[in-house]
Amino acid sequence: MIICRCNEVSDFEIRKFMKKHPHASFEALKLVTSAGTSCGRCKPLLQKIHERFSNEQPQNNQLRLPF
């Protein structure tokens, strides 16, 4: 699905970038993908995707003891 119509950036490209760079700033996301850099209409959706990936906690692989 195309998220940014001005620059033809898909949600796949945005998610791919965020998976690779989960701590990237919103500005970095825009700069690298070029999404949200023209009319700005896609920014709210772009921010939601960015926040979701930024807030995801890394998997906790610690050993859990039963006491």
- Nearest 5°: the CA angle 24, 30, 31 is 90
Cα 59 vs. chain centroid, distance in angstroms? 18
- Identify the residue among 13, 17, 36, 53 touching ligand FES (CB under 6 A): 36
Interface stretch with ligand FES, choices 14-22, 30-38, 52-60 (CB under 6 A): 30-38
Whether residue 49 contacts residue 55, with contact meaning beta carbons closer than 8 Å, is answered with no
Rounded CA gap, 4 and 63, in Å? 42
Cβ proximity to ligand FES: between 16 and 41 the closer is 41
Q: How many residues bind ligand FES (CB under 6 A)?
A: 11
Least distance in angstroms from the C-beta of 49 to ligand FES = 13
Cβ proximity to ligand FES: between 5 and 56 the closer is 5
